[in-house]
């Protein structure tokens, strides 16, 4: 009758045999980790640069809006002047909004282009690395 301990030892031995039969090279794992870390760092840089620029644009738009609202703090002599003031502020905001939105769109476009370039570069690197692995494997097999 088989004991539970026998099964565990057989199971462990089977895994040890399987992993020892795999042609692994720790340098390959180290290189893969390093490449992944570099890629992640570059992606994070793109994201942080875009976030920083968006924060700057938001701050500029807010300052612009508050500057225009400052006129509303002045007391008007005629009540109808208040409606003209509000109309002027709304008109000014409507005119400046497309410029501000276009600036945000430029940031997004730059981040997108940088990401595409990074992905293409990574794809080329992976293709080269795969070709080198195939060549090494072919030489070992021959």
More confident residue, 124 or 7: 124
Q: What's the token pair of residue 130?
A: 């795969």
pLDDT digits (tens, 9 = 90+) for 46-100: 999 999 999 999 999 999 999 999 988 888 888 888 889 999 999 999 999 999 9
Q: For residue 46, give every residue at least 6 positions away whose Cβ sits within 8 Å of its Cβ, in sequence order, or none.
A: 111, 114, 115, 118
At 142, is the pLDDT very low, low, confident or very high (cuts 50, 70, 90)? low
Q: What is residue 72's DSSP assignment?
A: G
> How far is Cα 69 from Cα 63, in angstroms, rounded to an integer?
10
Residue-averaged pLDDT of the chain: 85
Using an 8 Å Cβ cutoff, are 57 and 104 in contact? yes
Using an 8 Å Cβ cutoff, are 53 and 107 in contact? yes
At 118, is the pLDDT very low, low, confident or very high (cuts 50, 70, 90)? very high
Using an 8 Å Cβ cutoff, are 69 and 86 in contact? no
**pLDDT score at 54:** 98
Q: For residue 50, give every residue at least 6 positions away whose Cβ sits within 8 Å of its Cβ, in sequence order, or none.
A: 107, 108, 110, 111
**pLDDT score at 24:** 64
> How far is Cα 118 from Cα 112, in angstroms, rounded to an integer?
10
Q: What is the pTM of this model?
A: 0.68
């Amino acid at each position: 009758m088989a004991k539970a301990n026998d099964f565990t030892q057989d199971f462990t031995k089977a895994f040890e045999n399987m992993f020892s039969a795999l042609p692994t090279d720790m340098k390959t794992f180290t290189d893969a980790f390093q490449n992944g870390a570099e890629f992640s760092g570059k992606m994070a840089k793109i994201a942080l640069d875009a976030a920083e620029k968006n924060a700057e644009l938001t701050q500029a738009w807010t300052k612009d809006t508050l500057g225009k609202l400052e006129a509303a703090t002045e007391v008007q002599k005629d009540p109808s002047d208040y409606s003209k003031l509000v109309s002027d502020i709304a008109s000014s905001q409507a005119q400046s909004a497309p410029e501000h939105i276009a600036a945000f769109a430029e940031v997004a476009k730059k981040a997108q282009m940088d990401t595409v370039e990074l992905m293409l570069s990574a794809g080329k690197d992976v293709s080269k690395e795969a070709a080198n692995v195939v060549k090494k494997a072919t030489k070992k097999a021959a």
